[in-house]
Amino acid sequence: MGDTEMLDHIMISTILLVIVIAPFSLYLKNRIRVAFIKLFTYKRNILSLHVLMVGFCLSALSLPSSNATSKDEELIQDSIRKESRSELELVQIAVMDEKGKPITDLQLRDFVLYDNGKPQDLTVIENHNISTSNDEQLNRQGADHSINPLIPRRIFFLFDFTCTNELGFLLARDSAIRFIENKLLPSDEVGVISFSGRRAFKLYEFQTRDRLKIENTIESFGLQDLNPVIPANDVDKRFVDRKFIITDQAVWAEVQESAELIIARNFVWALASFAQSLRDLPGQKNIILFSGGIPINIYNRPERSKYHDNIDYPQLYKEMTASNIVVYSSYIGPRDEEAKYTDKIIALKDMAIATGGQYYSNVREAEQYLNSIQNLTGTYYVLGYRNEIMQKEDFHDIKISVNRPGCVIKILFRYSDNKPFNKYSEVERQLHLIDIALAEIPFSQIPIKFKMKAFVCNNSPPHNLRIIAEIPLDKLEDIVRERVEIISLVFNDADNIVDYHYVESDLAIYKDKRVFLDAILSVPFGDFNCRTILRNHSTGQAATAAVTIHIPKPKDDDLVIFPPIFYLPEKDAINLSGESIGSTKNEEMFLFNPTQYIPCIEKSFKRNTEIWAIVYCHLNKGDIHGLRLSAFLIDRNNGNEIPIPITMAGKSQEKEKKTFFIKLNIPDLEPDTYAFNILATNLANMHYSQIGTSVIIE
C-alpha cells in the first residue's frame, strides 16, 4: 500500500473516530490534534487534498468544546514545540574577548564542540545580541525562523521582604519596573518570587512573557508586604500583622539564637529548594535579588534529626550551579551598613561571585546597574547538536573551542539528562520534601491533597499531639503503585521542624481496604503547622495533607480533659504507625484492636446508633478510677441538653495522663448539627473539666 492510500484509510478511520469521541474529553481531543499535526508534518510531500480532510477533522473535534480557550491552543503548540526539539541537545554559551567585551559575530563554523570526548556535528546556532538600547538581534542558522528562541532569556525577580527597609524596598520595586519597561524583550520569560522569612518562597508568576502581568504584579507590592525581622516581645502591637514574629517562646529556648539567623537559615533552604526545582528548565536562569543582606553565619544549632536544616552556603552554591542559576544581587539596605562591609554584605557578594553573577552596592544608581544586567544576561549563543550514542548517559562533559584567537568562552547552560528522583541525594530529597510541605505553590510539582486532623492528647510533651489521616488510595493510584514513604512533619512558626513521624509501606497491597495514618508526636506549647507527605520512593510523586493546631500552655488545674477522637466499628482497616523522635508503642496509642475500628474524622454519625471514642485526661493527683465521664448533646435550636449514655470499654494511665476508650449511644434525633460536650469529674474533690465540639447527626 502506498503512502497516499495509507493516508486515505487513516482519514476514513479518523472521521469515524471523531463522531465517537466528539462529546468527550477536551484533553483527548487535544492530544489527537497534536498527533495529527505530527503525522502530517512528516508526510508533507503527499498531503494535497488530505490537508483539507485533516482540517475538517480538527474542526469537528473543536465544535463541541465551547470551553476551549487560548490556553488549550498554547498547550498544543507548546507540546509540538517540545516534541520537535526533544532530540536536540543544547548548549548556551557567552563568548568574550580578553577585555570582557562580548563577541557577537561568530558563525556555526567557528565552533568546535566535544561531548564526553567525542566531536559533535553542530546543526544549529542561535545568536542573541542585546544592546543597552534594548534592540535585539536574533539570528539562527540550521533551524526554522520561529519567533520562539531555542533558549529564551530567563529572569526571576526575587524580592526579600524580610531583610530590608522601606526606602530600599521602594527603590527596588522602582528598579524592577524600569527594567521591565525599558529592558525586557518580547521573547523573555520572567518570574516573580518573594521571601518573607519562611522556608519557602512565594510564587507570583513563573516564566511568563506577559509583560503587563509582570509589571502589575510588582506594582501591587506595597509597604504592607514587608516583614521586618523582630522578636515577639519587642513588637509594637499596632503593627503585629506586618511583622515576622516568632510567637512561640519555646523556639527561643530551644535554638538560643537570634531571629536573623533563623531567617538566614530559612532563606538558604528556600533558595536551594527553588534552585533544585529549576534543574529541568533549559538555559541559564538569571535571578535579580533585591535584599538588605542575609547573615552568613547560620550554624549555631546542633542537628536533632535527619529532617532538620543541614544546608549551608557552599551546598547552596553547588545546587545553584547545578541548576545553571546566576545571581545578580542588589543591596537595598542602609548605606552605612554597606560601608561597614558586614557579613550580610559578604553573603550577597559571595552569592553573586559563586554563581558567576554580579553584586551591585547602590540600588540608587539604577540606570547603571540595569544596563550592566542587560548586557550580561542578553548576549549569548545557543549551539545545538544531535548525539544518538550519548543520549542515554547521565553525565555530559562538554568542551567548546572557537576557531578565532583571543576568545574566552563561558558555558552558561549545558545539556544534561533529567536526574531521576531515585538518584537524589539525601539533601536533595529533603529539599524536595520541604518544598512540597511548605510552599503555597510548590515548585517541584502540584501534589494531590487529602484530609488530616490533629488532636491535643496531653497537657505537655512527650506524646501530646496526635495526627490522624485517611489515605485515599483510589485517588493516588500513580503514587502508591510502588513503595511509598509517609512523613508527618510539625513546623513551629519559625519553620523549624519540631518533631516528625516516618513510616514506609507498600500501599498497593491494601487497594481494597481503608488505610489510616495514626501518629503521636511531641511538641511544646504554641502554634504549629502540621504536614503529612505521602511520596513515591522512585518517582517523587506526592500527596499532601495540612492542618494547623494550637497547643495550649500547660494549665495549673489538677484536671484537664482534651477533645475526643471518635471511632466507628469497621473490620480489616489498616492502621499505619512508625517512629517519631519521641516514639511510642502501639499499646500506648490504642485500648482496642485498631483493625476493628476506623477514626471518624468528619464527626458525622447516624442517629440511633453506637459510636466509640478515645478520651484523654490530665490528672495531677489521683488515680484513674477516681474519674467519672459524662456526655451530652445540645440542640442549638432550643438549647436543650440531651444526655448520652456512656459504657466504659477500656482505660489506662501513665503518670498524670489518663486514657479512656468509651462507647456512646447516639439517640434518635432529628438530623442536624449538635454541640457535643464531655465532662470529666474528679470524685475525690468534685473538680471537673469540660470540652466541647460539633457533631453531625444524619
Q: What does the pLDDT read at residue 83?
A: 33
- Extract the runs of DSSP E, i.e. beta strands, from 209-256: none
Across the range 6-18, mean pLDDT stands at 48
pLDDT at 341 over 90: no
**Residue 443 pLDDT class (50, 70, 90 cuts):** confident
Torsion sign (Cα): 581, 585, 591, 593: positive
Across the range 504-510, mean pLDDT stands at 92
Worst-scoring range by mean pLDDT, 18-22, 183-187, 592-596?
A: 18-22
**Residue that wins the pLDDT comparison between 624 and 231:** 624
pLDDT at 309 over 90: no
**Domain 154-379 = CATH 3.40.50.410:** yes
Average pLDDT of the chain, as a whole number: 78
Cis peptide before 462 (omega within 30 of 0): yes
Q: What does the pLDDT read at residue 231?
A: 43
Is the CB of residue 116 less than 8 Å from the CB of residue 393? yes
- Helix, strand, coil abundance in the chain, percent, nearest 5: 30, 35, 35
Cα separation of 498 and 191, whole Å? 33
Q: What does the pLDDT read at residue 656?
A: 86
In 3D space, the residue among 156, 145, 214, 152 whose CA is nearest the CA of residue 187 turns out to be 152
Residues 6+ apart with CB under 8 A from 318: none
The domain defined by 447-697 folds into Immunoglobulin-like (2.60.40)
Domain with CATH 3.40.50.410 in the chain: 154-379
Q: What does the pLDDT read at residue 641?
A: 93
**Residue 246 pLDDT class (50, 70, 90 cuts):** very low
Q: If 0-12 CB within 10 Å is exposed, 13-18 middle and 19+ buried, where does residue 390 land? A: middle
Report percent pLDDT > 90 for the chain: 37
Cα-to-chain-centroid distance, residue 338? 34
Note the helical H segments in 341-425: 343-355, 366-378
Q: What does the pLDDT read at residue 53?
A: 38
Strand partners, 383: 91, 125
**Residue 66 pLDDT class (50, 70, 90 cuts):** very low
Q: What does the pLDDT read at residue 312?
A: 76
Q: What does the pLDDT read at residue 593?
A: 82
**If DSSP codes are grouped into helix, strand and coil, which group holds residue 565?**
strand
In 3D space, the residue among 547, 329, 326, 542 whose CA is nearest the CA of residue 443 turns out to be 542
pTM of the model: 0.72
Q: What does the pLDDT read at residue 615?
A: 94
Worst-scoring range by mean pLDDT, 77-91, 502-516, 592-606, 666-680?
A: 77-91
pLDDT at 449 over 90: yes
How many CA within 13 A on the CB side of residue 333? Answer: 23
Domain with CATH 2.60.40.10 in the chain: 447-697
pLDDT at 39 over 60: no
3-state secondary structure 491-513: ECCCCCEEEEEEEEECHHHHCCC
Is the CB of residue 522 less than 8 Å from the CB of residue 305? no
**Residue 59 pLDDT class (50, 70, 90 cuts):** very low
Q: What does the pLDDT read at residue 467?
A: 94
Across the range 95-110, mean pLDDT stands at 89
In 3D space, the residue among 448, 486, 483, 484 whose CA is nearest the CA of residue 467 turns out to be 486
Cα separation of 94 and 380, whole Å? 5
Across the range 521-531, mean pLDDT stands at 91
| Most confident residue range from 390-404, 438-452, 582-596 | 438-452
Q: If 0-12 CB within 10 Å is exposed, 13-18 middle and 19+ buried, where does residue 477 land? A: exposed
**Residue 340 pLDDT class (50, 70, 90 cuts):** low
**Residue 298 pLDDT class (50, 70, 90 cuts):** low
Give the relative orientation of helices 49-62 and 3-21 as an angle to the nearest 10 degrees: 10
Q: What does the pLDDT read at residue 60?
A: 39
**Residue 394 pLDDT class (50, 70, 90 cuts):** low
**If DSSP codes are grouped into helix, strand and coil, which group holds residue 432?**
helix
